[in-house]
A and B are shown apart, each in its own frame.
Chain A
């Protein structure tokens, strides 16, 4: 059993930001991630970020990751990073069991930050398990991290930002996006993203969904149909489109399994993506010194995850007894940044969700 001061589970934008805040405060950190590389989703995000300069607006996700890694480099004496390391168990006495290759080991931490992010929701339709049906984020990983095309002709399902952005990235990789279907009557993501792909020839079809995938051991075509006001398929409206790839971008769900295992409060809030970690204004869960930040605490954006991560790191450092210069001012400024990001019409969902959770947005 090894003892660590702080264990951070997940090295995406939230995990990396919280690590930096804790390291600056003087804490020593063990940062683990089950993937072979760090950055979570940042490493595949080739598009420019929104927000303000503080959130690196106009910079690409991949470049922001490099910036963050450079900031962590000077702290190599305090920071241990383990990739390809999966947390397999988490217990009430803050003992965590991990598997790294052939090694199984346990860590007891003074504070744990859960920044495990989210995974894509599945969409039920006939043959949705055929090879050729991908989670949209997986296609992004395949293309941008490994340089492999998923196929040649795609149907995108879902018009949230992920569906819209991945459609564009598919085209940049030389893959034709035949169309995008969205079950609801309105486009869910930023309209500028929608306009961008529409003018390049992607057919955006609202009130439309997938009836079934067609193919023998892999996708060869897809049958789509119109939906009525009750979200039911309209018989007779079916049409078949020739595609070899179907991308599912119907939303993300927080990965709260570890928190559930440890007995931390988890609540179902639809607006936040499903079961989310219940945290207080200091990013602490219902368990002492166990914190949560990023998508695991509510589906948002990478920009918000970076701010929330920094806040969770500061709060954890303070709780552990570290003195941080101008802590109040720093925390206040970061909270203001979050409020600003969440202010507009696109922030309505998260504001409603956080209200239901009982967390103040400021």
Chain B
């Protein structure tokens, strides 16, 4: 899913960044946001709606729509589309509205 060659842009080989998705060790690249790294891994379902549990994914990319909200390092409702990926980040799918205290 990563673009290797492009007529206008240059995508250099960047540093690999390890992180956890639902407990599994996966990799993104320097410059990724959490959401773009997950998308490149083929993970399209980022959250579920609160009542009907409908799948939601990458939609607006500017931190506006909340479809990409996930639990990152224990913090819920993180807009993963505008959150830069950091090494060893713990990313989990969120259940419902998310809990601020405790896990």
Contacts and interface: CB of A to CB of B under 8 A. Distances in A.
A and B in direct contact, judged by CB atoms within 8 A: yes
Nearest to B49: A129
Contacts of B46: 131
A132 B3 contact: no
A119 interface: yes
Interface string B5-32: 0111101000000000000000000011
Given A84-B84, A119-B62, A149 B2 contact: yes
B61 A135 contact: yes
B74 interface: no
**From B1, B8, B36, B56, residue with most partner A Cβ within 10 Å:** B8
B39 to A, nearest CB: 5
Given A129-B49, A130-B55, A218-B45, A135 B60 contact: yes
Given A129-B49, A173-B3, A217-B55, A36 B61 contact: no
B81 to A, nearest CB: 8
The size class of the interface chain B forms with chain A is: 35 or more
B59 A146 contact: no
Main secondary structure on A side of the interface with B: loop
A133 B3 contact: no
A300 to B, nearest CB: 18
Main secondary structure on B side of the interface with A: loop
A35 B33 CA distance: 10
B77 interface: no
B62 A35 contact: yes
Contacts of A144: 9
B71 to A, nearest CB: 16
A133 B65 CA distance: 13
Contact of B44 (A138, A145, A218): A218
Interface residues of A, number: 35
Interface in A101-147: 119-120, 129-135, 137-138, 141-147
**From B31, B44, B81, residue with most partner A Cβ within 10 Å:** B44
Interface string B50-70: 000011111111111101000
A142 B59 contact: no
B93 to A, nearest CB: 12
Contacts of A35: 62-63, 82
Interface of B: 1-3, 6-9, 11, 31-33, 36, 39-40, 44-46, 49, 54-65, 67, 81-84
6 A-B pairs closest in CB distance: A131-B57, A138-B61, A146-B36, A131-B44, A141-B61, A217-B55
Given A131-B46, A133-B59, A145-B36, 12 more contacts: A35-B63, A36-B84, A62-B8, A84-B83, A132-B57, A142-B61, A144-B9, A146-B31, A148-B2, A148-B36, A172-B6, A217-B45
